[in-house]
A and B are shown apart, each in its own frame.
Chain A
Amino acid sequence: DIQMTQSPSSVSASVGDRVTITCQASQGVNSWLAWYQQKPGKAPRLLIYSVSTLQSGVPLRFSGSGSGTDFTLTISSLQPEDFATYYCQQANSFPYTFGQGTKLELK
């Protein structure tokens, strides 16, 4: 199984800050890498797929990059609605696996 490791597990930031979350795969996942946002009591929301393609309706302050085993999600200027938990996910091979999550909290 491909293990997905996110860092940090939690981060405190302020509105307007730039935040970067990293996701490292235990083996290469090609471009089969997605990012999700989840708020308490809600289903996850797809933000980015294929490493860097923004899902329709997602604000441009979200961006993704990386290749091989190392990937990043960047929020360029945090907005109040961005405080949530973020997950990466690989679909290069079964079983599909998620990172453990990164909780983004208000400082």
Chain B
Amino acid sequence: QVQLVESGGGLVKPGGSMRLSCAASGFTSNDYYMSWIRQAPGKGLEWVAYIRNSDSATYYPDSMKGRITISRDSAKNSLYLQMSSLRAEDTAIYYCARGQGSSSWFGAFDIWGQGTLVTVSS
């Protein structure tokens, strides 16, 4: 069964760090574009990180650059998001998502995890 399972969320103090994990099963995550997308409570969706399948090139929105790093471990078939200097406005559900199409990138995300909640509060 093709699925993504996130873990690592929880409560963290402002200025703290957190590492999220996303375990893939039923497919090889290295073969796909992968992203992290977040959703603040009661709000819309916000893309926060992307890693390309061919060369592991990474992209981030300017608002997150320097504070987050996306990475992958092919041996564990897993994706990670390292976050630092966390702020209250980073409070959100963080989803990992698979880019639709391993050989052709259509710009959409076809498989999503259930999400992991990160709460930044003192």
User: Is B44 part of the binding interface, using a Cβ–Cβ cutoff of 8 Å?
Assistant: yes
Q: Which of B84-122 contact A (CB under 8 A)?
A: 95, 100, 106-110, 112-115
- A101 to B95 alpha-carbon distance, docked (Å): 17
* Number of residues of chain B lying within 8 A (CB) of chain A: 21
Given contacts A43-B112, A46-B109, A94-B59, contact A87 B47 (CB under 8 A): no
- Please tell me if the beta carbons of A49 and B107 are within 8 angstroms of each other in the complex: yes
- A92 to B107 alpha-carbon distance, docked (Å): 8
Number of A-B contacts (CB under 8 A): 70
- A45 to B109 alpha-carbon distance, docked (Å): 8
Residues of B within 8 A of A32 (CB): 106-107
- A74 to B110 alpha-carbon distance, docked (Å): 20
- A54 to B53 alpha-carbon distance, docked (Å): 24
- Please tell me if the beta carbons of A97 and B100 are within 8 angstroms of each other in the complex: no
Given contacts A87-B44, A98-B45, A100-B44, contact A44 B112 (CB under 8 A): yes
User: Is A50 part of the binding interface, using a Cβ–Cβ cutoff of 8 Å?
Assistant: yes
- Please tell me if the beta carbons of B61 and A91 are within 8 angstroms of each other in the complex: no
Distance between B55 CB and nearest chain A CB, rounded to angstroms: 16
Residue positions of B touching A, CB distance < 8 A:
35, 44-47, 50, 59-62, 95, 100, 106-110, 112-115
Q: List 23 A-B contacts (CB under 8 A).
A: A34-B106, A34-B108, A34-B109, A36-B45, A38-B45, A43-B114, A43-B115, A44-B95, A45-B112, A46-B110, A50-B106, A53-B106, A87-B44, A87-B45, A89-B45, A89-B109, A91-B107, A94-B50, A94-B61, A95-B61, A96-B35, A96-B107, A98-B44
